[in-house]
Amino acid sequence: MKRYILLTLVLTVIVIGPFAYQKWSEAKRLQHIRETKQLASQIQATPLTDYLHQLKQVSPDGTPLLLFTGNTHAQLEPCGCFIGQSGGLPRRAKAIARIRETGFSPLLVDLGGIQPSQHPSMKPHSFESDNLSTENEVHSRDQHRVQTTLTAMKMMGYDALFPFDAETEIVQNREVDVSFTLLGSELANDSDSYLIKTVNEKRIGVVALSINDTTEIASFSDRLNSLLSAVRAQSDFVVVLSHALPEVNRALAEKYPNLSAILSPYEGETEKVGDVLLAYCNAKGKTLGALILTDTEVDIQQIALTEQVSDDLEVRKLLDDFYHQVATDHQLQIVSHRLFSSEPFEQDETNSYIGSQACQECHQKEFSQWSHSSHATAFNTLRTIGREHYPECITCHVTGSGYESGYEIGNTERAHLVDVGCETCHGPGKQHVYTPLKENTRGQVPEKVCMACHTPEHSPGFDALVEQVMPEVDHSRSELSLKQILEQRMRGPMKPEIELFVMSYCPYGVQAEQELLPFFETYRDTIDFKLRFIVGREEVSEEKTSEQVKFTSLHGEPELIENKRQMVIAELYPDKLFDYLLCRADHLQEAWVNCAKEIELDVARIAQAVESEKLALELVKEIQRTKELNIKGSPTLVIDGRIIDGGLWRGKVKETCR
Ligand code: HEC
Ligand code: HEC
Ligand code: HEC
Ligand code: HEC
């Protein structure tokens, strides 16, 4: 008897063991990915709420506060590529406003470096192709960014900007009328190199130390001597804004122990030389530096500008206007750099990009795997947040940007090159499609191909994760379940958008609702669910006004009305939509009011809304969306703009209404 039990036990372990192990190791892998990403994206800075709390413990009277930024490179805001990103003009403006609300009226300075940083592959020799811009054209979008930055700084109430020598010209030729002081010896004489301001009842002298052409400490020292002689007598505290290298700053701190602080636009670790504080900036406006000066001590902190800080609405609008301008002006859409400039396949001018669709016929398995990955929805991401015309974003979210035959903003003939398609990893595919050989495609995809896009700026921690995530893209895994696909999408900052296309009287559509809604219910707060309807329109006249459109539906007028009803309920009672749909699924042949009453909806209100004019426009939108995605049958499931293979989710739903 014992032997049988033992045998059964051993057999069970043999049968279930591998599955259990697989599940366990997959869970571990995912956890490791999550933790590594989280750790890598952390920023060393104080959350704004904590900082405000600290300020509340201090009396603003007689306690001057100085806020500073530097090397912002006209970064308008972070890209939003990962969770926990910090920075952005709208958040900076909000943080400053919140600090002012505490009663402090800070001195606000920028230490220069407001021009966009030059990308390494933007050097002139890489501009040979017609598709790429000349330096001048890049310059014009950068110019706009600088102007937008200056305008935002004016809105925030900056007191001073100390531009680098190399950017005095761009600042002097600015189009916006700034209200803040421009500091710097290049601008004019000594009196333009300092600023004295009373801040919370104390006088702060801010001295601007340029690099000029020298790195000799003696000449910095001479310069500082003459400036300090003018400033010291009139100030309670003196702070130096220095463009010099850290070692020069250290030497100056030793020589002038009475300074309160020396601020540098570069990145570095805060340090103290005697009583003089040396502080640095986080590039690209990731944080806001904050310096509190008292007679006995200085307190320096970097304030985090993560998503916990909301946007200042006026600065938000300024940025939206900028993006709108880029979206409508072809000249501003020119791409400034391209990926893979050292990969031979991409440089072969006799080859060209052809699009992922062309590969499907012969590589169905790889295509299906890819189309469920987030690479296949990378452009949808940009569309969702309205950046599909912004060149700074498309480089890594499309295929072949910057190449002669690659994706081009606004060119409808290149629409098939959206997303991170097959050819981003395997190289341009035209020759291979016509003559399939191993030699004319990149069969081995080296890590450095991934790293071209998964840079620390956009995908922190990825370098340590390549091996763990490779199975997600190398087509080696068996097909994912719907749950796995959803959970993969939820790793990023964006909520996955689910669209279920049905006809409300189509029995298979209704079955799909029964199959899927309870599942989606468990993800309520982490997904964006939309029920969509497949309707038609009769082309009675050429007129496009909505009153003249006659809508049609496969199951006739009653279906059209039920569609409208469900649209109304989705709008008026979003939390009860699933309850209504599931109730209707069981009682489709009965009167709708029974279900409405059962879940306590206002029947009269719904009936009235169904008659509204506005609903016709909504139906037009449904038609547009089904056309856009080329959707024919009910039910169809779409995640982030991509149709999900029925095999993955249909379950008992065997048929389709067409
Ligand atoms: C007409 C059919 C066909 C089309 C279309 C096609 N391929 Fe292939 N592909 C093949 C064949 C056949 C092979 C195997 C070649 C061999 O082993 O010599 C192959 C091999 C490959 C390999 C593996 C190479 C290696 O070194 O093992 C990759 C990667 C690849 N294709 C990518 C693509 C991409 C990307 C596209 C679309 C741009 C595409 N293929 C379109 C037929 C096709
Ligand atoms: C052309 C740029 C580009 C290349 C090359 C690239 N990726 Fe990506 N990758 C992206 C973008 C963009 C996203 C985010 C797409 C979205 O959700 O909008 C992404 C997303 C991912 C994700 C999902 C991230 C997550 O945690 O949700 C993984 C995993 C991934 N890439 C792995 C790879 C690997 C491995 C390689 C190399 C074999 C690679 N990628 C090459 C641009 C690229
Ligand atoms: C250098 C390449 C690169 C550029 C340029 C880039 N991205 Fe990304 N983006 C990525 C990668 C890689 C990911 C995936 C990151 C990850 O999960 O590790 C990503 C992810 C995203 C996501 C998250 C998608 C999701 O599913 O949650 C958003 C949103 C996004 N990018 C928006 C933008 C915007 C807006 C811009 C332009 C301002 C931009 N990206 C520019 C590479 C890039
Ligand atoms: C994010 C990068 C990436 C994208 C996008 C991508 N692949 Fe791959 N592909 C790989 C990697 C990695 C391998 C494995 C290469 C190796 O073994 O070194 C691979 C292997 C292949 C192979 C060789 C056979 C196999 O299955 O291992 C084919 C064929 C292929 N890919 C076709 C495609 C097609 C078709 C698409 C688009 C539908 C595509 N790939 C999109 C990264 C990618």
Assign residue 525 the CATH number of its domain.
3.40.30.10
**Phi-psi label, residue 641: left if phi above 0, alpha if psi -120 to 50, beta otherwise:** left
Backbone angles phi, psi at 537, to 5 degrees: -140, 145
**C-beta neighbour count of 299 within 10 angstroms:** 14
Q: 488 with 433, same domain?
A: no
Are 606 and 523 contained in the same domain? yes
> Do residues 244 and 268 make contact, with C-beta atoms less than 8 angstroms apart?
no
User: In a mutational test of the pocket of ligand 2, which residue from 420, 449, 484, 495 has the highest number of ligand atoms less than 8 Å from its CB?
Assistant: 420
State the pLDDT at residue 622: 95
Of 445, 461, 478, the one marking the end of a domain is: 478
- The verdict on the CB of residue 177 being under 6 Å from ligand 1 is no
Identify which of 617, 503, 609 has the alpha carbon closest to the alpha carbon of residue 552: 503
- Does one domain contain both 440 and 378? yes
- 156 contacts: CB under 8 Å, gap ≥ 6: 92, 93, 96, 108, 315
pLDDT, residue 169, reads: 82
Is 228 contained in some domain?
yes
Tell how far the Cα of 630 is from the centroid of ligand 1, in angstroms: 27
Distance between Cα 458 and ligand 2 center (Å): 10
Task: Look at residue 508 and tell me if it is in a domain.
Answer: yes
| Residue keyed to tokens 């943080």 | 95
The separation between CA 85 and the C-alpha centre of its own chain, rounded to angstroms, equals 9
Rounded Cα distance, 329 and 243, in Å: 36
User: Measuring from atom 13 of ligand 4, which residue has the nearest CA?
Assistant: 474
Evaluate whether 242 touches 207 at the Cβ level (below 8 Å): no
**CA torsion, points 326, 330, 331, 332, in degrees to nearest 10?**
20
Does residue 637 belong to any structural domain of this protein? yes
CATH of the domain at 247: 3.60.21.10
Q: Is the CB of 437 under 6 A from ligand 1?
A: yes
- Is 91 buried (19+), middle (13-18) or exposed (0-12) by CB count in 10 A? buried
The pick from 30, 37, 375 for probing ligand 2's pocket by mutation, whose C-beta has the most ligand atoms within 8 angstroms, reads 375
- What pLDDT is stored for residue 543 in this prediction? 58
> And the tokens for 493?
């900052």
pLDDT at 564: 95
Q: Is the CB of 610 under 6 A from ligand 3?
A: no
482 CA to centre of ligand 2 in angstroms? 20
Residue 441 in contact with ligand 1 by CB distance below 6 A: yes
CA distances (Å), 328 to each of 324, 335, 389, in order? 6, 15, 9
Considering every ligand atom shown, identify the ligand nearest to the alpha carbon of residue 497 and give its number: 3
Domain assignment present for 13? no
Distance of CA 114 to the CA centre of its chain: 21
Pick from 113, 120, 46, 132: which is nearest to 75 by CA?
A: 113
Q: Is residue 23 assigned to a domain?
A: no
Angle CA(606)–CA(608)–CA(609) in degrees, nearest 5? Answer: 65
Q: Tell me, yes or no, whether 121 and 139 share the same domain.
A: yes
Q: Which amino acid is at 238?
A: V
Nearest CA to ligand 1 atom 9: 436
In this structure, which residue's CA is closest to atom 18 in ligand 4? 444
The two tokens of residue 14 are: 């043999």
Based on the structure, what is the number of domains in the chain?
3
Kindly report the CA angle at 607 between 604 and 608, in degrees rounded to 5?
A: 85
> Cα–Cα distance between 604 and 401 in angstroms, integer?
54
pLDDT number for residue 121: 40
Domain finish residue from 460, 478, 496? 478
Q: Which residues sit with their C-beta closer than 6 Å to ligand 4?
A: 356, 359, 363, 366-367, 370, 375, 420, 422, 424-426, 444-445, 473-475
If asked whether residues 474 and 486 sit together in one domain, one would say: no
Q: Which ligand minimizes its atom distance to the CA of 370?
A: 4
Domain shared by 473 and 490, yes or no: no
pLDDT in tens, 328-369: 999 999 888 899 999 999 999 999 999 999 999 999 999 999
The domain boundary, picked from 288, 317, 346, lies at 317
The span from the CA of 184 to the CA of 215, in Å, is 17
CA distance 179 to 561: 59
Residue 60 lies in a domain: no
Structure tokens at 54: 């600290």
Q: Is 80 in the pocket of ligand 3 (CB under 6 A)?
A: yes
Minimum CA distance residue for ligand 4 atom 3: 425
Q: What is the pLDDT of residue 144?
A: 92
- 378 within domain boundaries: yes
Residue 563 CB–ligand 3 contact under 6 Å: no
Which ligand lies nearest the alpha carbon of 425?
4
Q: Are residues 388 and 530 in the same domain?
A: no
Q: If you measure from the C-alpha of residue 450 to the centroid of ligand 4, how many angstroms do you get, rounded to a whole number? A: 12
Residue 22 CA to residue 503 CA, distance in Å, equals: 40
Residue 184 lies in a domain: yes
* 362 touches ligand 1 (CB under 6 Å): yes
Q: What is the pLDDT of residue 548?
A: 64
Question: CB neighbours of 61 closer than 8 A, spacing ≥ 6?
Answer: 200, 201
Q: State how far the Cα of 469 lies from the Cα of 178, in Å rounded to an integer.
A: 48
Atom nearest to 397 CA in ligand 2: 12
Long-range pairs for 476-480: beta carbons < 8 A, 24 or more residues apart: 477/369, 479/368, 479/369, 479/372, 479/647, 479/648, 480/372, 480/648
Residue 573, pLDDT score: 96
Q: Are residues 292 and 146 in the same domain?
A: yes
Residue 442 CA to ligand 4 centre (angstroms): 9
Does 271 contact ligand 2 (Cβ within 6 A)?
no
Q: Residue 264's Cα: distance from chain center in Å?
A: 28
Regarding whether 471 and 497 lie in a shared domain, the answer is no
Asked if 393 and 483 sit in the same domain, the reply is no
Q: Are 554 and 503 in contact (CB under 8 A)?
A: yes
CATH classification at residue 465: 1.10.1130.10
Is residue 130 within 6 Å of ligand 1 at its C-beta? Answer: no
Residues, the chain: 658
**Co-location of 200 and 348 in the same domain:** no
**493 CA → ligand 3 middle, Å:** 10
Closest by CA position to 353, among listed 420, 265, 255, 299:
420
Shortest-distance Cα residue to atom 15 of ligand 3? 459
Same domain, 389 and 455: yes
C-alpha–C-alpha distance, residues 533 and 504, integer Å:
7
Write out the residue range of the structural domain in which residue 385 sits: 338-478
| Residues of the chain with confidence (pLDDT) below 50 | 119-134
Is 145 touching ligand 2 by the criterion CB < 6 Å? no
